[in-house]
Amino acid sequence: VIRVIKIAADISERVHSALEQEAVVNAINRSMAIITFNPEGIVLEANENFVNATGYKRDEIIGKHHRLFCAETLYK
């Protein structure tokens, strides 16, 4: 053996930050009604709070345009 090279990095701060971000996202998801949609306005996902608040079933809204939840006068 001529040489030994050791490369190490302390990633504990990055791991801690990622865990904090995940906790915030989980808290928001538990407390708020949320839908996600693409740039064209097509609903991609809805959390349980959104489904409960609107009375729709998830499979009734996934793939539909988000204007489904708006008064017709808002998009005409």
What pLDDT, in 10s, does the model give residues 18-47?
999 999 999 998 999 999 999 999 999 999
The answer to whether residue 3 sits within a structural domain is no
* pLDDT tier, 54 (very low <50, low <70, confident <90, very high otherwise): very high
Residue 8 lies in a domain: no
Is the residue at 13 inside a domain? no
Total structural domains in the chain?
A: 1
Percentage of residues of the chain with pLDDT beyond 70: 97
- Answer yes or no: is 22 within a domain: no
**Domain range for residue 74?**
33-76
Separation between Cα atoms, residue 67 and residue 37, nearest integer Å = 11
CATH code for the domain of 72: 3.30.450.20
Of residues 1 and 57, more confidence is placed in 57
Report the alpha-carbon distance of residue 31 to residue 55 in Å, rounded: 17
pTM: 0.66
For residue 15, tell me if it sits in a domain: no
In a domain, 5, yes or no: no
Is the Cβ–Cβ distance between 47 and 33 less than 8 Å? yes
